[in-house]
Amino acid sequence: MNQKFQIMRNIFVAINLCWLSAIALAQTPHTHQHGFSGAEQWAQIFDDPERDTWQQPHQVIQALGLEPDSIVADIGAGTGYFAIRLANMVPQGTVYGVDTEPDMVKYLSNRAKKMNMTNLVALQAKAESPQLPKKVDLVLFVDVYHHVDNRATYLQKIRAALKPNGRVAVIDFRMNSPIGPPKEGRISSDEVKAELKNAGFTLIQEPDFLPNQYFLIFK
């Protein structure tokens, strides 16, 4: 009986680790090097309510201090975990759910229509550019920044897409987080700060309430 219990426990642990690895991806990587077709299936992972316990989306959005008419770009929006919530918080504004994966863009667009969210616009982007149609108040990267290629060039395009006093928020996994991508695929908060500084941004806030991720806000 003990041996059987141990076998079942090992199976459970293995399944749980796979689930955590998948959900830790959260948003879809904003790069051509990762495929995320099959949005319906990914939605079960990205939008799983269990994610709320560590991602704390409500607290994150509150910390961003958005105005009701803010224009926000959610980079690597995926199936809309943050984009939907952001759209609810800026009823007179606009949220651009930006993604490079066509299936994700289609899924989010259909989701917005079903929910009658006219202020949520799903945008097809390129790996090298978010393709934003107008200037925004905030650009948000959640678990996506470490996937962006040629970040120095990409950040210059982000800067050009911001309104005066516009902000950039980066949330990504700490190097010692028990969940998230492999350690070699992560980027430290110090690296993010250095890259944003080189791109002309200033760190203005560093909320520390997330258990697995750093949270940096620049302007």
Asked whether residue 26 carries a pLDDT value surpassing 50, the answer given is no
pLDDT at 48: 63
pLDDT at 85: 96
Structural domain range at position 78:
2-218
3-state secondary structure (DSSP) of residue 115: coil
List the CATH number of the domain containing 153.
3.40.50.150
User: How do residues 103-114 score in pLDDT, each as one tens digit?
Assistant: 999 999 999 999
Identify the CA nearest to 203 among candidates 171, 169, 175, 173. 169
Measured torsion, CA atoms of residues 206, 196, 69, 126, in degrees rounded to the nearest 10: -130
- Mean pLDDT within 12-34: 39
Q: How many domains does the chain have?
A: 1
pLDDT band for 34, please (50, 70, 90 cuts).
very low
